[in-house]
């Protein structure tokens, strides 16, 4: 089959990171080609380059044998590249048909007068051809997320996209909806279009794609036929055993009695539905328990429910044998639960406030920093200065707004605050995401130290290297439930990877 | 192509250069307008300064104009600091004026000095009560407080008009000879007149002093207390506040009540300091509440800056009254005030954003990165 799109040695640098480092990629006409990689492997950057949002620093884009250069996303659209983003770009009060012609500057959308009937008819025909059932007159806000995704696909088809990129399309779909999406993708490929399917779910890739290109750390690792690959071999390619940043280190300290127990925990997600479906967990003093899983399987909700930011629908969180009422972060803090949240810039700190203010974000009611209703600003500043020294926070003094710190130093501020409260339990979510190697090492050292001093650590991470380097036990979460638990010393990346992908091999 | 980019850091010199530049630009534009309409710019500007700030008499007048603006400016600043957009200062001022006047009338001359504090408390209660309506809706139903507080301004305006013009209410004067010709509010008793401080030829209304004291109290509250700390965190990042275990709902109620109470005291000050009756026409025509929003924005929600800007805008307003006459239509005064405000607010944009000329491609990629 002739090649539809080819990326030659694409390099894209951002301040401090090389997001794509000489990436090679090639997809043929009429194929579904999966782009597989962990978070931060460079998938999104690559698709942004292909859709004209970024320009590569080096390298070449070749479409149907012709080198092209995109000055804007519109150029890419005109060249026949359509994209379905993870977060939809639709206008909620408009109808399906109106959204489809929005931004179309060649066909119906270009005319001054809009003929709704004609557009609706065209959209309905398109839908029939590709088995995408959507009412063209429905308004976007009335549609489910799965239906909205179909509108995005229709939009691309209406603009005669010959190459369609889908960014983690199944993240918002039920298994049934995912099935019908795969069917649509096959119809499109059979017509000679090219579908680029970005994912990190192994079984989906196996189910829908003809070939897979695996990215890791911004580089192309390999392109393989899905027919000859197994989830096992794909997991190995994706995670890459040989580049283990973090080494497993034995810790001092003994593992003691259970300090955190989670019993049959259920919780709703932000979009309704059950994000947690009966989670049972136990963390003992001095122990690091990791929660592994593909993003969006309930990890965030689990951290939020344990730390009181989200109310449980059912079940209990027990600290030191005492059950919490739940849904109250202040109660959880008092019970000794420290929390290093996933979104450190907007949840972990108040970004415009000073480091000093952020250091006392949870302890501003305490005796050390208050006199009656008044805050002792000098005491707060001194406290911040001493933590800055102790945790080696670089970039500025106590008065510096937190947002001006680099990711690693910001994380040190959060850790300093959370450790200082003498926690019993530490819940950390993706603690090293976006950090450089040196900062990762520091954060890992702090987590080990915390465990050695008798804190029970619950580490939620999508980084298996990190999990294997730090954890004593690994529990794997899938669709809101723990589907397996393994001893970190006696497991393999493959074993965990298979559990993460839903258990089946 | 002109584009605006958000500044990552705001250099210190800008916060001086921009306001000064704005004023210069404003006066430049006014010169053009004045020349085009056949007036002498030099003469007009010197009269503007004289009648606003040039003599003791002028400054006394400016104090009178500035007092209500100080309260409504503080009202807006208090709420905006927590990203709570209380646009209802106007209505909350009316509510304060209604309850303040009621307290003054009810106490008569029997209670002596007690009338003044009673009016202050009544005004605060009135303003706070009205502000709590959007606050409760926002805290428990996530209703947009901009819209609800704005709509209540119209409700409050209709109520205050109803009390004097369309009913035989407690506030309406029904006995005096003039009241037979034109509906008006009861005159407040002697004891309800707020004292006037006399310092070196200047007359300082009690409300003005109270407003300055309130500004200081608010500053301490917001920068030195646990309450203020929570307000800062919630205003900056509601998620961080939830994470830290702060009670966001209670804070919304408290801050809106405080904001409304400040405007309400401003309403009571109108009764006690200046009007000595409940005066719907005068209050609704003045638009103090809306001016307060501009003042808070210009003062960047800093209570002391609000004091200063209320004084300057008060002077401008006051000079406007003095300027208009046979050969100087009131519309032209409005144009001049509008130009100054327009330039001041436009200048604010330059502090926060930088203007870029040129093509977009490469820079856009940087911006998205």
For residues B1 and B354, the answer to whether their CB atoms sit within 8 Å is: no
Q: Which pLDDT belongs to residue A247?
A: 62
By C-alpha distance, the chain B residue nearest A334 is B245
Do the Cβ atoms of B239 and A346 come within 8 Å? yes
pLDDT tens digits for range B150-169: 999 999 999 999 999 988 89
Residues of chain A with C-beta less than 8 angstroms from the C-beta of B227: 373
At CA B79, angle to CA B77 and CA B85, rounded to 5? 105
Residues in chain A: 505
For residues A153 and A184, the answer to whether their CB atoms sit within 8 Å is: yes
Kind of pairing, strands A81-84 and A258-268?
A: unpaired
State both tokens at B9: 């850091």
Q: Is pLDDT larger for residue A146 or for residue B148? A: B148
Q: Is pLDDT larger for residue B358 or for residue A398? A: A398
Q: Is pLDDT larger for residue B184 or for residue B337? A: B184
Judge whether residue B256 has pLDDT over 50.
Answer: yes
At CA B237, angle to CA A340 and CA A466, rounded to 5? 20
Do the Cβ atoms of A350 and B365 come within 8 Å? no
Residues in chain B: 369
Do the Cβ atoms of B233 and A350 come within 8 Å? yes
Q: Does A54 touch chain B (CB under 8 A)?
A: yes
B residues 215..254 contacting A (CB < 8 A): 224-227, 229-230, 232-233, 236-237, 239-247
DSSP code string of B230-298 = HHHHHHH-HHHHHHTT--HHHHHHHHHHHHHHHHHHHHHHIIIIIISS--HHHHHHH-HHHHHHHHHHH
Q: Which pLDDT belongs to residue A172?
A: 63
Say what percent of chain B tops pLDDT 70.
93
Residues of chain A with C-beta less than 8 angstroms from the C-beta of B232: 350, 353, 357
pTM: 0.75
Q: Among B229, B236, B365, whose Cβ lies nearest the Cβ of A54?
A: B365
**Is B278 domain-assigned?**
yes
Do the Cβ atoms of B233 and A329 come within 8 Å? no
Judge whether residue B271 has pLDDT over 50.
Answer: yes
Residues of chain B with C-beta less than 8 angstroms from the C-beta of A353: 232-233, 236
Q: Which pLDDT belongs to residue A16?
A: 66
Do the Cβ atoms of B224 and A377 come within 8 Å? yes
Do the Cβ atoms of B240 and A349 come within 8 Å? yes
pLDDT band at B20 (very low <50, low <70, confident <90, very high): confident
Q: Is pLDDT larger for residue B342 or for residue A38? A: B342
How many angstroms separate the CA of residue B351 from the nearest CA in chain A? 17
Say what percent of chain B tops pLDDT 90.
64
Instruction: Give CA–CA dist B294/A349, Å, rounded.
Output: 30
User: Which of B82, B220, B237 should we substitute to test contact with A (largest number of A Cβ atoms within 10 Å)?
Assistant: B237
For residues A95 and A136, the answer to whether their CB atoms sit within 8 Å is: yes
Catalogue all structural domains in chain A, each as residue range(s) with its CATH number: 3-239 (3.40.50.300), 252-336+423-505 (3.40.50.300), 349-406+413-421 (no CATH)
Torsion sign across C-alpha atoms B327, B333, B334, B338: positive
Name the residue with tokens 């819209």.
B147
For residues A285 and A454, the answer to whether their CB atoms sit within 8 Å is: yes
Return per-residue pLDDT of chain A as tens, 505 residues: 688 899 999 998 877 678 888 899 999 999 999 998 876 678 888 988 999 888 899 999 999 988 998 888 888 888 899 998 877 888 988 889 888 888 777 766 667 777 778 888 888 888 888 888 788 888 888 777 778 888 988 888 888 889 999 988 876 666 667 788 898 899 989 999 999 998 867 778 888 999 999 988 888 988 999 888 887 788 778 776 543 445 677 777 788 899 999 999 999 987 678 889 999 999 999 999 999 987 778 889 999 999 999 999 999 999 999 999 988 999 999 999 999 998 888 899 999 999 999 999 999 988 888 998 899 999 999 999 999 999 988 888 899 999 888 778 899 999 999 998 889 999 999 888 767 666 778 899 999 999 999 999 999 987 777 888 899 999 999 889 999 999 988 888 778 877 877 754 4
Q: Among A48, A53, A329, whose Cβ lies nearest the Cβ of B244?
A: A329
How many domains does chain B divide into? 1
Q: Which pLDDT belongs to residue B216?
A: 97
For residues A463 and A294, the answer to whether their CB atoms sit within 8 Å is: no
Do the Cβ atoms of B361 and A72 come within 8 Å? yes
Do the Cβ atoms of A375 and B226 come within 8 Å? yes
User: Which of B220, B228, B240, B250 should we substitute to test contact with A (largest number of A Cβ atoms within 10 Å)?
Assistant: B240
User: Which of A270, A305, A341, A347 should we substitute to test contact with B (largest number of B Cβ atoms within 10 Å)?
Assistant: A347
State both tokens at A81: 């590249």
Do the Cβ atoms of B236 and A373 come within 8 Å? no
Judge whether residue B104 has pLDDT over 50.
Answer: yes
- In DSSP terms, A144 is beta-bridged to none
3-state secondary structure B316-357: HHHHHHHHCECCECHHHHHHHHHHHHHHHHHHHHHHHEEEEE
Residue A283 DSSP SS3: strand
Q: Among A309, A332, A373, whose Cβ lies nearest the Cβ of B226?
A: A373
Q: Which pLDDT belongs to residue B362?
A: 43
**Is B342 domain-assigned?**
no
**Is B35 domain-assigned?**
no
A residues 330..349 contacting B (CB < 8 A): 330-333, 339, 341, 343, 346-349
Do the Cβ atoms of A347 and B226 come within 8 Å? no
Q: How far is CA A51 from CA A57, A399, A457, A484, in A?
A: 15, 42, 42, 39
By C-alpha distance, the chain A residue nearest B361 is A71
Q: Which pLDDT belongs to residue A242?
A: 43
Closest CA to B313 of B327, B297, B332: B297
Do the Cβ atoms of A364 and B226 come within 8 Å? yes
**Is B88 domain-assigned?**
yes
Q: How far is CA A324 from CA A320, A341, A402, in A?
A: 10, 20, 31
How many angstroms separate the CA of residue A437 from the nearest CA in chain B? 21
Residues of chain A with C-beta less than 8 angstroms from the C-beta of B243: 307, 309, 329, 339, 341, 347-348, 361
pLDDT band at B181 (very low <50, low <70, confident <90, very high): confident
How many angstroms separate the CA of residue B148 from the nearest CA in chain A? 22
Judge whether residue B359 has pLDDT over 60.
Answer: no
Q: Among B233, B242, B368, whose Cβ lies nearest the Cβ of A353?
A: B233
Q: Which pLDDT belongs to residue A108?
A: 63
Q: Does A75 touch chain B (CB under 8 A)?
A: no
Q: Among A347, A362, A375, whose Cβ lies nearest the Cβ of B239?
A: A347
> What is the b/e burial string over A422-433, where b = at least 16 CB atoms within 10 angstroms of the residue's CB?
ebbbbbbbbbbb
Q: Which domain holds residue B214?
A: 67-305
Q: Among B245, B361, B364, whose Cβ lies nearest the Cβ of A329?
A: B245
Instruction: Give CA–CA dist A46/A219, Å, rounded.
Output: 11
Judge whether residue B310 has pLDDT over 90.
Answer: yes
**Is B13 domain-assigned?**
no
Residues of chain B with C-beta less than 8 angstroms from the C-beta of A351: 236-237, 240
Do the Cβ atoms of A353 and B236 come within 8 Å? yes
**Is B8 domain-assigned?**
no
Q: Which pLDDT belongs to residue B363?
A: 43
Instruction: Give CA–CA dist B54/B318, Å, rounded.
Output: 12
Q: Among B225, B362, B365, whose Cβ lies nearest the Cβ of A375?
A: B225
pLDDT tens digits for range B216-238: 999 999 999 999 999 999 999 99
Q: Which pLDDT belongs to residue A100?
A: 87
Kind of pairing, strands A288-292 and A473-478?
A: parallel
- End-to-end C-alpha distance for chain A, whole angstroms: 31
Residues of chain A with C-beta less than 8 angstroms from the C-beta of B237: 346-347, 349-352
Residues of chain A with C-beta less than 8 angstroms from the C-beta of B254: none
**Is B56 domain-assigned?**
no
Q: Does B181 touch chain A (CB under 8 A)?
A: no
**Is B270 domain-assigned?**
yes
């Amino acid at each position: 089959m002739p090649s539809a799109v080819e990326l030659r040695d694409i390099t894209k640098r951002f301040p401090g990171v090389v997001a794509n480092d000489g990436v090679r990629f090639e997809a043929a006409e009429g194929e579904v080609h999966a782009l597989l990689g962990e978070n931060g492997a460079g998938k999104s950057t690559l698709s942004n380059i292909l859709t004209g949002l970024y320009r590569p620093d080096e390298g070449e884009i070749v479409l149907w044998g012709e080198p092209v250069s995109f000055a804007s996303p519109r150029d890419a659209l005109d060249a026949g590249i359509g994209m379905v983003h993870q977060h939809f770009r639709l206008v909620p009060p408009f109808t399906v048909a109106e959204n489809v012609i929005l931004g179309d500057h060649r066909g119906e959308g270009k005319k001054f007068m809009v003929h709704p009937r004609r557009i609706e008819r065209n959209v309905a025909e398109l839908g029939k051809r590709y088995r995408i059932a959507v009412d063209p007159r429905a308004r976007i806000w009335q549609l489910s997320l799965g239906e909205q995704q179909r509108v995005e696909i229709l939009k691309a088809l209406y603009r005669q996209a010959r190459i369609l990129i889908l960014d983690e399309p199944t993240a918002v779909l039920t298994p049934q909806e995912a099935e019908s999406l795969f069917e649509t993708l096959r119809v499109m490929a059979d017509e000679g279009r090219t579908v680029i399917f970005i994912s990190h779910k192994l079984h989906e890739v196996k189910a829908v794609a003809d070939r897979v290109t695996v990215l890791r750390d911004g580089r192309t690792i390999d392109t393989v036929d899905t027919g000859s690959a197994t989830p096992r071999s794909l997991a190995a390619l994706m995670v890459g055993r040989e580049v283990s940043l973090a080494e497993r280190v034995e810790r001092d300290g003994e593992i003691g009695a259970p300090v955190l127990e989670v019993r049959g925990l259920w919780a709703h997600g932000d979009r309704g539905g059950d994000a947690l479906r009966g989670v049972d967990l136990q963390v003992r003093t001095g122990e690091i328990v990791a929660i592994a899983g593909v993003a969006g399987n309930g990890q965030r909700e689990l951290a939020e429910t344990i730390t009181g930011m989200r109310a449980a629908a059912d079940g209990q969180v027990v600290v030191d044998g005492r059950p919490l009422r739940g849904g109250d972060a202040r109660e959880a803090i008092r019970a000794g639960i420290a929390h290093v949240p996933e979104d450190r810039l907007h949840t972990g700190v108040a970004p415009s406030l000073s480091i000093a203010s952020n250091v006392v974000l949870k302890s501003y009611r305490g005796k050390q920093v208050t006199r009656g209703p008044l805050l002792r600003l000098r005491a707060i500043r001194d406290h911040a200065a001493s933590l800055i020294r102790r945790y080696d926070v670089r970039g500025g003094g106590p008065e510096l707004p937190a947002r001006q710190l680099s990711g690693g130093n910001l994380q040190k501020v959060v850790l300093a605050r959370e450790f200082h409260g003498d926690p019993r339990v530490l819940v950390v979510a993706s603690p090293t995401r976006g950090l450089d190697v040196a900062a990762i090492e520091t954060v890992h050292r702090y987590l080990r130290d915390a465990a050695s001093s008798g804190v029970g650590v619950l580490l939620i991470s999508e980084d298996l290297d990190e999990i294997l380097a730090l954890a004593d036990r690994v529990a794997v979460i899938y669709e809101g439930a723990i589907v397996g638990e393994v001893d970190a010393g006696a497991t393999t990346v493959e074993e965990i990877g298979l559990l993460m992908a839903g258990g089946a091999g | 192509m002109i584009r605006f980019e958000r500044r990552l850091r705001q250099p210190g010199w800008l916060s001086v250069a921009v306001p000064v530049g704005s004023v210069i630009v404003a006066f430049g534009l006014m010169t053009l307008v004045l020349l085009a309409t056949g007036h002498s710019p030099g003469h007009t500007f010197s009269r503007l300064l004289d009648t606003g700030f040039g003599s003791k008499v002028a400054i006394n007048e400016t104090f009178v104009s500035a007092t209500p603006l100080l309260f409504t400016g503080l009202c807006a600043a208090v709420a905006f600091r927590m990203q709570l957009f209380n646009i209802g200062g106007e209505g909350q001022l009316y509510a304060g004026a209604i309850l303040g006047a009621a307290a003054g009338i009810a106490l008569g001359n029997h209670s002596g000095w007690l009338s003044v504090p009673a009016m202050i408390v009544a005004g605060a209660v009135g303003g706070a009560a009205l502000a709590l309506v959007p606050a409760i809706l926002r805290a428990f139903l996530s209703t947009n407080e901009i819209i609800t507080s704005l709509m209540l301004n119209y409700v409050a305006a209709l109520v205050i008009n109803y009390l004097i013009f369309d009913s035989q209410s407690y506030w309406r004067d029904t006995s005096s000879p003039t009241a037979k010709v034109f509906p008006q509010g009861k005159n407040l008793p002697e004891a309800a007149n707020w004292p006037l401080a006399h310092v070196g030829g200047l007359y300082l209304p009690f409300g003005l002093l109270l407003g300055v004291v309130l500004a200081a109290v608010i500053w301490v509250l917001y920068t030195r207390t646990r309450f203020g700390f929570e307000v800062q965190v919630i205003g900056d990042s509601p998620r961080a506040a939830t994470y830290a275990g702060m009670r966001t709902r209670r804070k919304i109620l408290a801050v809106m009540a405080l904001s409304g109470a400040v405007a309400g005291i401003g309403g009571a000050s109108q009764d006690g300091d200046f009007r000595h009756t409940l005066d719907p026409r005068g209050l609704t025509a003045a638009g103090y509440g809306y001016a307060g929003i501009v003042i808070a924005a210009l003062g960047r929600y800093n209570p002391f800056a609000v004091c200063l800007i209320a004084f300057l805008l008060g002077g401008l307003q006051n000079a406007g009254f003095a300027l208009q006459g046979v050969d100087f239509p009131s519309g032209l005064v409005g144009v001049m005030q509008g130009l100054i405000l327009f330039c001041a607010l436009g200048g604010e944009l330059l502090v926060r954003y930088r203007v870029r000329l040129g093509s977009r491609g490469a820079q856009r990629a940087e911006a998205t990165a």
